[in-house]
Amino acid sequence: MLFALPQSVTLFLQRRSGKAGAQVGLARLITNPAMKALNPVLVTMQKGWLTEQCAKAKIPYLIRAFPKSRSWKGRLLANRVFGRDMLDVVQGRGWDPILVQGNDHLEGLLAQEIMRSAQIPGVIFLRSSEMTKRDFFKYRCDRFDLIYAVGEELATKAKEWSANAEIHLLDDGVEESDFFPPKAKAVKFPTRILVVGSESQYKGWADLAEAVDRLEQDQKFSELTLEFTGKAPDPRLNDMRLWKPRKSKFVFIGRAEKFADLVRQYDLVIHPSREESFGIAPMEILAAGVPLLCSRVGAIAKIRSATEWLFEPRNPKDLAFKLAFLHDNWTKIVPDTTSCQTQIRRQFMMNGIIDGIVHTFQTLIERRARAENSL
């Protein structure tokens, strides 16, 4: 009786499946048609936006409980059990795992256990601009066969921390479906403005609040309605001084899964982030055709040269100056949306990025296979 050989699959580990930067980056990677050559399978903790994207693309996913991999119990037992159980589940479905990827350093220890159990190569993506040297080694990122670091700054840090590791620069990318015709500039300076990011102190909402306080010292400055894509932050972690009386209104609208549809409801968007490894949100906003005032972090400087639309991160004074400049000169300013879209298409399209990743993954798999055959 003939039996079909197990289907070779590549496992992608992503703990959370709600829509956020790491999940969007992974979705664009594994749903791209070029990735079919590696038979991707998502492993995550619960259903959410990411599993919905996989289902649409007919990519299988597994829902598994992820242990708290840095706990005392996790270090001793739970991580290793997770690796063995994952191998049993995958092989029970007739799949033969050939590579595992951790989608950020937080997935590092669990991906390591799958590498150990299945005796397969592993890749780790470094996505968090907040990651420290201590995090890098705590999650054993240096022990992977290959490291992809998102953005030049994070890649430089990783090379300094682990000089002997194989480290590749990874740029996030957008797809043609993310592009919309540039919106016509509003006749008057928009007083209803979208502010993107999250409650994290690294997203710069406190800097924007201070900039508004500076602007409101001028009684002639317009009363603004600033709508934030998240909830009001804990003042102990990110103090926007929401108790302070202001003319302007701060409204927290929560997250929206249809990001382009959201931003196109506005005539001006602000991205005040203090740091980004790459910064995909500004790319998505500009691709959506909406004027954007943003901090000079991540890859934005590669596609934008018009300085009136950029301000220095962690600098409320400069943010206030640039916002006042737009306010006072709105009728004369020409948004750079069209030129930015041209540069995004030249440099950061997913179809131009994915082929290199697939080739590198395949080379790693073949290298491991040759090493095993030589034993």
pLDDT score for 71: 60
pLDDT score for 300: 95
Asked if residue 210 and residue 120 are part of one domain, the reply reads no
pLDDT score for 171: 87
Residue 181 in any domain: the answer is yes
Residue 58 in any domain: the answer is yes
**Domain residue limits at 158:** 7-173+349-373
Asked if residue 65 and residue 50 are part of one domain, the reply reads yes
* pTM, rounded to two decimals: 0.86
pLDDT score for 87: 94
**Could you tell me which of 268, 275, 291 has the C-alpha nearest to residue 338?**
291
pLDDT score for 303: 94
pLDDT score for 2: 34
pLDDT score for 4: 42
Asked if residue 211 and residue 87 are part of one domain, the reply reads no
Sign for the CA dihedral angle at 300, 255, 104, 119 comes to negative
Could you list the mean pLDDT of each consecutive 10-residue stretch along the chain, which spans 375 residues?
Answer: 62 94 92 93 95 95 84 71 93 94 95 94 94 93 95 91 92 92 96 95 96 94 95 94 96 91 97 92 96 96 94 98 96 96 94 91 87 69
Residue 231 in any domain: the answer is yes
Domain count, the chain: 2
CATH number at residue 129: 3.40.50.2000
Asked if residue 330 and residue 224 are part of one domain, the reply reads yes
Asked if residue 215 and residue 139 are part of one domain, the reply reads no
Asked if residue 227 and residue 206 are part of one domain, the reply reads yes
Q: Report yes or no: 127 and 101 within 8 Å, Cβ to Cβ.
A: no
The contacts found for 130-137 with CB under 8 angstroms, 24 or more apart, are 130/202, 130/275, 131/105, 131/157, 133/157, 133/161, 135/105, 136/105, 136/161, 136/162, 137/161
Asked if residue 361 and residue 339 are part of one domain, the reply reads no
For residues 154 and 266, give the distance between their C-alpha atoms in angstroms, rounded to a whole number: 32
**Could you tell me which of 166, 203, 162, 175 has the C-alpha nearest to residue 298?**
203
pLDDT score for 256: 84
Residue 204 burial (C-beta neighbours within 10 Å; 0-12, 13-18, 19+): buried
Q: What count of other Cβ atoms lies within 10 Å of the Cβ of residue 331?
A: 9
For residues 43 and 9, give the distance between their C-alpha atoms in angstroms, rounded to a whole number: 12
